[in-house]
Amino acid sequence: MDLTDMEPVERRSTAAIVADRIRTAIMRGTFPPGTQLGEVELAARLGVSRGPLREAMQRLVAEGLLRSERHRGLFVRDLDATDVRDIYHARASVERAAGLLLVDGDRAAAADRLVAALGALEVAATTGDPAAVADADHAFHTEFVAASGSPRLRRMADGLLVETRMCLAALQQTAPPAAGLVAEHRELADAVRAGDRDRLTAALDAHMADAVARILAPVVTV
């Protein structure tokens, strides 16, 4: 069977679009952890029927962003300190693998992409808007993994970055120091351009460890 003349279908399903909308709302803290999502209200707000909405919500259950309770409904998944540590441990593993691909590939092109993303982070840092900084931080790490050219790492990173934003919305009481955050990301871009594997992995590990400590600091008891 010759399928060479077939073109890919680019149109996205309603369920996929709805899943994106809800995922973004969870990521930004519009629906905090523990929030119950009602089908009737959500369908009305999104202007869709309950069929695509249910499909979208089941996708998010499969992704681990929602949890289903029998006879009660669907809730945004709660996160605790163990979740935060696990999410960042997984992110470190994925981004370390992506970073090594960057170092072994076209380092200059990858570094240029990261510098562009860093510029957006620097601009966001001047606004004093924590949401803008978080968006730019998210975009930098998305670009970091995307530049590796691995679609599988990209898929894993996308889910982990959404969970990261849930961590920030749920547990972080203060925004990270903008100057320090920019410096950490600049170190990642510089390490890629230099092709220094040890410097890159050390910078990634330090970046992730600092994020965990900062997020969990408000919930640590003394």
The 10s digit of each residue's pLDDT in 32-78 is 888 999 999 999 999 999 999 999 999 999 988 899 998 899 999 98
Question: Are 96 and 88 in contact, with CB atoms under 8 Å apart?
Answer: no
| pLDDT (tens digit per residue) in 94-144 | 999 999 999 999 999 999 999 999 999 999 999 888 888 888 999 999 999
Superfamily of domain 81-219: GntR ligand-binding domain-like (1.20.120.530)
At 36, is the secondary structure helix, strand, or coil? strand
How far from each other are the two terminal CA atoms of the chain, in whole angstroms? 68
pLDDT at 8 over 60: no
Is 67 exposed, middle or buried, given 0-12, 13-18 or 19+ CB atoms closer than 10 A?
middle
Architecture of domain 14-76: Orthogonal Bundle (1.10)
Q: For the chain, what are the domain ranges?
A: 14-76, 81-219
pTM for this entry: 0.81
